[in-house]
């Protein structure tokens, strides 16, 4: 059972564009929603995370938007750069439980 | 500051062979995890440990075994390797599983032929 659905599978944008990656979850008990970034040949690394008591969180060029009623959250990358080219994973967990990951989105930013 | 270290980085196994993937962390984290990553499938949890001497199954444990004799080490054992175990394996650790950051190793790419 896929508890976190992520889309799109891949995404190509021009430098300076704003790629948006979407995730939807089923379990209303989830209360922690992180995004991980993975470069080729490396392990995933935490990029940014949000809890359901806020609708938006920004860290530098990265923004998470959260819609609790729709059970959806998304990652926006402002002024995207070729160095942002990576695979991005959304995830979710319920307090005291393990992370459930989405299938991943391969992002390519063209210079 | 090494973080989470995995060895080997690459390995080719023949069907039916066994091997151990090593994982060690130097952050004194209680929680450790093993994931496998397959194209288009995200990360699936194989086993996890909440501390030395305690392990439990994740989502896809069949064909694997783990042990946790120390806080630092969490090896993953593959018995009777099968082609379905061809994957990239990641070890991770966290201070706790209570919604805190998980730190990942660089992965082991395993091919079973």
What's the pLDDT tens digit per position in A18-52? 999 999 999 999 989 999 999 999 999 999 999 98
Domain assignment present for residue B110? The answer is no
Angle of CA points B21, A98, A25, to nearest 5°: 125
Domain assignment present for residue B108? The answer is no
Is the CB of residue A62 less than 8 Å from the CB of residue A53? no
Q: How far is B106 from chain A (nearest CA, A)?
A: 4
Domain assignment present for residue B104? The answer is no
Sequence-distant (≥ 6) Cβ neighbours of residue A53 within 8 angstroms: none
pLDDT reported for residue B40 = 82
Nearest to B40 among A9, A41, A43 (CB): A9
Domain assignment present for residue B21? The answer is yes
Is the CB of residue B27 less than 8 Å from the CB of residue B42? no
Q: What is the pLDDT averaged over residues B78-101?
A: 89
pLDDT band at B1 (very low <50, low <70, confident <90, very high): low
3-state secondary structure A44-71: CEEEEEECCCCCEEEECCEEEEEECCCC
Q: Tokens representing B1?
A: 């500051």
Return the residue of B nearest to A88 by Cα: B42
Q: How far apart are CA B31 and CA B49, in angstroms?
A: 6
CA torsion A67-B35-A40-A13 (nearest 10°) is -20
Domain assignment present for residue B72? The answer is yes
pLDDT reported for residue A2 = 56
- Domain span at residue B50 reads 4-98
pLDDT reported for residue B101 = 86
Residue A96 has pLDDT above 80, yes or no: no
Q: What percent of chain B has pLDDT over 70?
A: 96
pLDDT band at B95 (very low <50, low <70, confident <90, very high): confident
Q: Is the dihedral of CA B41, B46, B51, B56 positive or negative?
A: positive
Domain assignment present for residue B113? The answer is no
Residue A97 has pLDDT above 90, yes or no: no
Domain assignment present for residue B59? The answer is yes
Q: What percent of chain B has pLDDT over 90?
A: 86
Q: What is the pLDDT averaged over residues B97-109?
A: 86
Could you give the number of structural domains in chain B? 1
Q: Is the dihedral of CA B8, B48, B62, B60 positive or negative?
A: negative
CATH value at residue B90: 2.60.40.10
Q: How far apart are CA A81 and CA A77, in angstroms?
A: 9
Residue A95 has pLDDT above 80, yes or no: no
Question: Which domains are present in chain A?
Answer: 4-110 (2.60.40.10)
Q: How far apart are CA B17 and CA B81, in angstroms?
A: 5
* A98 vs B contacts (CB less than 8 Å): 33, 45, 48, 58, 97
Domain assignment present for residue B112? The answer is no
Mean pLDDT across chain B: 94
Asked whether the beta carbons of residue A99 and residue B102 sit closer than 8 angstroms, the reply is yes
């Amino acid at each position: 059972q896929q508890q976190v659905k992520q889309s799109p599978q891949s995404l190509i944008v021009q430098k300076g564009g704003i790629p948006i990656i979407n995730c939807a979850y089923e379990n209303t008990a989830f209360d922690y929603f992180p995004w991980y970034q993975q470069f080729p040949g490396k392990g995933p690394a935490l990029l940014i995370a949000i809890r359901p008591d806020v609708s938006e969180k920004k860290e530098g060029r990265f923004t998470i938007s959260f819609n609790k009623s729709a059970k959806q959250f998304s990652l926006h990358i402002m002024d995207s750069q070729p160095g942002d080219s990576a695979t991005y994973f959304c995830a979710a967990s319920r307090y005291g439980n393990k992370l459930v990951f989405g299938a991943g989105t391969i992002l390519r930013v063209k210079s | 500051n090494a973080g989470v270290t995995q060895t080997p980085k690459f390995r080719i196994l023949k069907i039916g062979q066994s091997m151990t993937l090593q994982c060690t962390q130097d952050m004194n984290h209680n929680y450790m995890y093993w994931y496998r990553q397959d194209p288009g499938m995200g990360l699936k949890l194989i086993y996890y440990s909440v501390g030395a001497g305690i392990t439990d199954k994740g989502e896809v444990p069949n064909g694997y075994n783990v042990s946790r004799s120390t806080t630092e080490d969490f090896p993953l054992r593959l018995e009777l390797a099968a082609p379905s175990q061809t994957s990239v394996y990641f070890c991770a650790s966290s201070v706790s599983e209570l919604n805190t950051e998980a730190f990942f190793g660089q992965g082991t790419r395993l091919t079973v032929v």
